[in-house]
Amino acid sequence: MGMGSASIVVLASGEGTNLQAIMDAIARGELDCTVSLVVSDVRDARALERARNSGITAVHFPREKRTQDEYSDALRDLIMSYPHDFIVLAGFLKILSGSFIRAFPNRIINIHPSLLPCFGGKGFYGEKVHKSVIESGARISGCTVHFVTEDVDLGPIIDQESVPVLDRDTPEQLAMRIHPVEHQLLVRSIRLLVSGRYEIIGKRVVRT
Ligand code: GRF
């Protein structure tokens, strides 16, 4: 059964092209949800500007002198004060504490620019992911949308898409080939979530 109009909160640290893809899909009527809040730990993140340009509440929420736990708890409280059926990590670079993750069980998703469970986990972000893929000799990479659990990048996989690694690819070239595929994958994954037509069985997300 669908959730009617679900509300999502998006956390982003950077460019926010994945956020833009979500907002564009909603505007085109291809995604039945609303973005209730966008949060960034980075003051000048393009993601905040993109949200504001679309009339969405955008909050700069810096870590400052707080510990990781204090930051996560404060962020949890902020999110709790907005409608939040799902929380989407779209290039959010802070690792969130266990208590944050447990506050939203099976409600937080992340997009990662590799075919998990390969090339994921702590330290695997941005260019480092693509550099490692190329150095490994892998001929296929891609992107993954998964539920966030306390094991970094190892929660149940919602969907994946593959992208070829070409001869003489640089990390930048591979990243540029994966990025537009991420946009489609993320929108498709959120569509599944808001439809409610899935079940999590162990580490598997099964369509119902
Ligand atoms: C994406 O590559 C995503 O997979 C990673 O961070 C990047 C965010 O890109 N987690 P953007 O800010 O949405 O353009």
Whether the full predicted model's pTM is greater than 0.75, yes or no, is yes
125-148 per-position pLDDT tens digit: 999 999 999 999 999 999 999 999
- Stretch 110-126: mean pLDDT: 96
From ligand 1's centre to the CA of 1, what distance in Å? 30
* Catalytic-residue membership of 60: no
φ and ψ at 24, to 5 degrees? -65, -40
Percent of the chain with pLDDT over 70: 98
Alpha helices per DSSP H over the chain: 17-27, 46-53, 68-80, 98-103, 127-136, 171-195
pLDDT at 94: 85
- Stretch 176-183: mean pLDDT: 98
From ligand 1's centre to the CA of 18, what distance in Å? 6
75-98 per-position pLDDT tens digit: 999 999 999 999 999 999 888 999
Establish whether residue 18 lines the binding site of ligand 1, counting it when its CB lies within 6 angstroms of any ligand atom.
yes
pLDDT at 3: 56
Establish whether residue 171 lines the binding site of ligand 1, counting it when its CB lies within 6 angstroms of any ligand atom.
no
Token pair of 70 as six digits: 């204090």
Is the pLDDT reported for residue 2 higher than 80? no
From ligand 1's centre to the CA of 93, what distance in Å? 9
Establish whether residue 12 lines the binding site of ligand 1, counting it when its CB lies within 6 angstroms of any ligand atom.
yes
Domains 1-104 and 110-208 share a fold: yes
Q: Which CATH architecture has domain 1-104?
A: 3-Layer(aba) Sandwich (3.40)
28-44 per-position pLDDT tens digit: 999 999 999 999 999 99
Atom of ligand 1 nearest to the CA of 89: 10
From ligand 1's centre to the CA of 81, what distance in Å? 26
pLDDT at 1: 47
Give, in order, the Cα–Cα distances in Å from 62 to each of 43, 55, 88. 7, 21, 18
Is the pLDDT reported for residue 4 higher than 70? no
Establish whether residue 94 lines the binding site of ligand 1, counting it when its CB lies within 6 angstroms of any ligand atom.
no
Query: By C-alpha distance, which of 85, 112, 84, 108 is closest to 98?
Result: 108
Return the CATH class of domain 110-208.
alpha beta
Mean pLDDT (the chain, rounded): 96
50-60 per-position pLDDT tens digit: 999 999 999 99
Query: By C-alpha distance, which of 128, 145, 150 is closest to 192?
Result: 145
Whether the Cβ atoms of residue 159 and residue 188 lie closer than 8 Å to each other:
yes
